[in-house]
Amino acid sequence: MSEVSDDPTVTAELTNRLESLRHVTDLLAELSTARSLADTLQTVADGIVTGLGYELGCVNLVRPDGDLVIAAFAGNAAAEALITGRVGSRDSWERRLTMGEAWDQLRFIPHTEGWVLLDDDVPQWHTEGPEPQFEDEWHPLDRLYAPMYTSGGRRDLLGVISVDRPRNGRRPGPWKQQSLQLYASQAAIAISNARLRANMQRALVRLEREQQALRASEESFRQAFEYAPSGMAIAEMGG
């Protein structure tokens, strides 16, 4: 039988992990609630800030043309107003997702490499801060991305979650990395479901409009016969 450690450091770490797991569980439950695509995207961004321990969270969504648009932002109203709706090219994003360090499915680009991205076309919000004093301290130009993929046999890029400024000031450890990766995978499912619902709703609206147009056409056709002053008939021309 395993024993619970009396080491205060270990106890604190376990407490933090349990608290983090509770937050992630709550966030996943929130994502499972049926809502519009816009609300789902904002919920994903808000969850990064309220539950995962980052000060800034951004959801970049792949458009039909392949480029990525900033669809939701959380943590800073000024940044949200400035960059929401702006677009970064697919080529620039593919470059980012192959740079730096692979943390399983996450991609971390340290500031020592990320400076080359300052002039590409991906919209960015830079935060000010002092230079790090410790090896694992978060640098203002560090970048961490969590790609989201469609489920099923063909895994296409659905979007990318980007986070900034961990509240504890440190680069995420293994547990934080796993939490973000799990959150991104569930966010992808929620976004895909919301998009499917939106497509179905648009199809239903289009079908209803077509039915209304058909009924109006039939009524117009009926009235043309009923109220014709000299009568009307349909004749078939045969050989």
pLDDT tens for residues 73-100? 999 999 999 999 999 999 999 999 999 9
In a domain, 234, yes or no: no
The pLDDT of residue 88: 96
Q: Per-residue pLDDT tens, the chain, 239 aa: give them.
A: 445 456 665 565 566 666 666 666 766 667 667 578 899 999 999 999 988 989 999 999 999 999 999 999 999 999 999 999 999 999 999 999 999 999 999 999 998 898 888 889 999 887 777 777 888 899 989 999 999 999 876 789 999 999 999 999 999 999 899 999 999 999 999 998 888 876 666 676 777 777 777 777 777 777 776 766 655 555 565 55
Full strand arrangement of the beta sheet holding 157-166 = 87-88, 68-74, 54-62, 157-166, 143-149, 106-109, 101-103
In a domain, 175, yes or no: yes
The pLDDT of residue 229: 64
In a domain, 217, yes or no: no
Whole-model pTM: value is 0.75
In a domain, 44, yes or no: yes
In a domain, 219, yes or no: no
Check which CATH number belongs to the domain holding 172 and give it.
Answer: 3.30.450.40
The pLDDT of residue 214: 75
In a domain, 136, yes or no: yes
Structural domains counted in the chain: 1
In a domain, 3, yes or no: no
Is the Cβ–Cβ distance between 41 and 57 less than 8 Å? no
Q: What is the residue type of 66?
A: G
Q: What is the DSSP string of 86-99?
A: -EE-HHHHHHHTTS
The percent helix, strand, coil of the chain (3-state, each to 5) is 45, 20, 35
Range of the domain at 65: 10-198
In a domain, 193, yes or no: yes
